[in-house]
Amino acid sequence: MFLARTLIVAALLSTAFITTAMAECHIADAKLEEAILHNPHFRGPANRQAVRDLRSLRDAAFTLWSYGHDDECERLVENIREFIAGPNMGSLGGNDEEAASEQQIASEPKVQHAASRGQRGEKNAKPLIRIDELTPGLRADEIIGTEVRSSDDKIVGEVRNIVFGTKDRKDYAIVASGGFFTPGKDSIVVPIQSLKVSQERDSFFLPISKDALKTVPLMPDQDYRWLSDHNWRTRNDAMFVDR
C-alpha cells in the first residue's frame, strides 16, 4: 500500500514537472531587440510606434510570466514572433488591396547588418544636431522609443520615459540600457540637453563612448525619488558633460 501511494505521488510530481516545463515562457526566444536592430521595417520615425507597441507586448509578457501565467505569456510571445515575421506593422489595418499585396511581398524580413554598427563613419554622414538647435523641436512621442547610441556610434539602449519640469529646469531622458531595453534596474538618467540627434531624427547620441557608459550610475530607484537628491543628480549629470 505504501509502495502504491509512493508511485502515485511520484507520478503526480512527474506530471506536474512536465506540465511546468512545457508551460515555461521563453520571452528572449522572440528575439525582438534583434529584429528591431536589424530589420529595416522597424527603423525610422514612421515605424517608431510599431516598435513601441511590440515592446509593450513584450513587457506585458514579462508581467504575465511574473504572475505565473506561463501559458498566456507564451501565447503572447508567439504573437510577437508573428508580428516580427509578418508585414510592416506601421501600415497594417488598411483596406487597400494593392497595399495589402505589397505587404505580403514584404513579409520576409530583410536583414540590415550595418544597423548595429551605425553609420557615423560613412563618408557622407550628416553632422549631428544639438537638441536645443532643432527646428522644429521634438514632441514627446518622437523622443520615447528612439534608440540611443554612444559617441562611438554603438547602440546602448532606447528612451523609455522623459522627465520635465524639475525645479532647477533640468529635463531628463530615462534610457533603458539592459539586454531587453526594458525599464527598470538597468536604466540610466541622461540630461536631455546632453543629447544630440541625427538629422533623420531616428537616433540620439550620448557625448560619451560605450566603454565610458559603464561608469555611469544606474537609476537608483523606479519611484523617481532621485529627483529630490541634488547630490546624486549633480554627480550623474557630470558624467554627460561633452568633453
pLDDT tens-digit map of 2-11 = 444 443 434 4
Q: How many domains does the chain have?
A: 2
Give me the domain span that covers residue 153. Answer: 121-238
Of the pLDDT bands very low, low, confident and very high (cuts 50, 70, 90), residue 219 is: very high
Among 88, 109, 131, residue at a domain's last position: 88
Three-class DSSP category at 194: helix
**Do 236 and 219 contact (CB within 8 A), yes or no?**
no
What is the per-residue pLDDT across 133-163, written as a single tens digit (0 to 9) for each? 888 888 888 888 888 999 999 988 889 889 9
CATH number of the domain within which 139 lies? 2.30.30.240
Among 47, 73, 88, residue at a domain's last position: 88
**Do 158 and 147 contact (CB within 8 A), yes or no?**
yes
- Report whether the peptide linkage leading into residue 136 is cis, meaning its omega lies within 30 degrees of zero: yes
More confident residue, 64 or 207: 207
Residues 154 and 204 in one domain: yes
The model carries a pTM of 0.56
DSSP for residue 127? P
Amino acid code (one letter) for 169 = R
Strand 147-149 to strand 203-205: parallel, antiparallel, or no bridges (unpaired)? parallel
**Do 216 and 151 contact (CB within 8 A), yes or no?**
no
Of the pLDDT bands very low, low, confident and very high (cuts 50, 70, 90), residue 106 is: very low
